[in-house]
Amino acid sequence: MALIELQGINKTYDNGQPLHVLKGVDLHIERGEFVSIMGASGSGKSTLLNILGILDNYDTGTYHLDGTLIKNLTEKQAADYRNRMIGFIFQSFNLIGFKTAVENVELPLYYQGVPRKKRHDLAMEYLDKMGLTPWASHFPNEMSGGQKQRVAIARALITQPRIILADEPTGALDSKTSVEVMALLKQLNQQDGITIIVVTHEGGVANETDKIIHIKDGVIGEIEENTRHDAWEGSVMK
């Protein structure tokens, strides 16, 4: 079985009048893939990402993550799965402002009950990997966008999750930094074999991934193999 198995996922929001967002999504993502999900706003890509990240539930269908059926979970179970299986990277970084870089990276391990010393050492190790050792005791507002996103990546990696979900990871960054961040993700995928799913509406970003999944009006459209990274001609991004 693939790492991620979605079958006939339906999701309807009911805010006053029903809005059918996902209309029977089937999706398979194998271990070690570097995938992007592309779609315009309103296409349902954010909803899909939320379901993949166990931040939201779905109405019908099945979702297997690494062989585990993700359905009708209690809040506690959902939190536990998120903590152990999924690493999030957000557009707006979502670092906690009153915590230093290293404290932010430590936080997922805190919720696993890892002792403080071990947590700290591990967090320093991951910050070092991101080249942020000198910034360990700085607060997020003392860092650049690129640095913040690298702290967030270190936080996503520290629990050694099954997948990394990146929601517009370059959306708040300038083009130079965007290239660096995408290169970093690519490196993590190639060297460490980490499965990464990037959600984006930018062709340049999607072009960096090995497979591009198009979503439109709540259904999966074309799936492009992009191992040669030539889906977008010209400049790499933007």
Closer CB to other proteins, 27 or 95, in the complex: 95
Name the one range near other proteins by CB under 8 A: 76-84, 125-133, 214-222, 230-238. Answer: 76-84
Alpha carbon distance 23, 136 (integer Å): 44
The single residue among 116, 118, 229, 238 that binds other proteins, judged by CB under 8 A, is 116
By CB under 8 A, is residue 140 in contact with other proteins?
no
Give, as one character, the DSSP assignment of residue 224.
E
By CB under 8 A, is residue 79 in contact with other proteins?
yes
Shortest Å distance, C-beta 222 to other proteins: 28
What DSSP string runs through 185-218? HHHHHHHH--EEEEEES-HHHHTTSSEEEEEETT
By CB under 8 A, is residue 120 in contact with other proteins?
no
Name the one range near other proteins by CB under 8 A: 77-85, 140-148, 184-192, 212-220. Answer: 77-85
Shortest Å distance, C-beta 140 to other proteins: 11
Closer CB to other proteins, 39 or 53, in the complex: 53
By CB under 8 A, is residue 99 in contact with other proteins?
yes
Alpha carbon distance 189, 157 (integer Å): 12
Identify which of 53, 54, 56 has the alpha carbon closest to the alpha carbon of residue 78. Answer: 54
Helix residue ranges, H only, the chain:
45-52, 75-85, 101-110, 116-129, 145-157, 175-192, 203-206
By CB under 8 A, is residue 83 in contact with other proteins?
yes
By CB under 8 A, is residue 66 in contact with other proteins?
no
Identify which of 114, 136, 138 has the alpha carbon closest to the alpha carbon of residue 125. Answer: 136
- Exposure string (b/e) for 193-222, b if CB count within 10 Å is 16 or more? ebbbbbbbebebbbbbbbbbbbbeebebee
Alpha carbon distance 158, 8 (integer Å): 32
Shortest Å distance, C-beta 190 to other proteins: 25
By CB under 8 A, is residue 88 in contact with other proteins?
yes
Shortest Å distance, C-beta 53 to other proteins: 7
By CB under 8 A, is residue 137 in contact with other proteins?
no
Max distance between CA atoms of the chain, in angstroms, equals 52
By CB under 8 A, is residue 175 in contact with other proteins?
no
By CB under 8 A, is residue 76 in contact with other proteins?
yes
By CB under 8 A, is residue 112 in contact with other proteins?
yes
Which positions lie near other proteins, rule CB under 8 A?
50, 53, 55-56, 75-76, 79-80, 82-84, 88, 90, 94-99, 103, 107-108, 110-112, 116, 155, 159
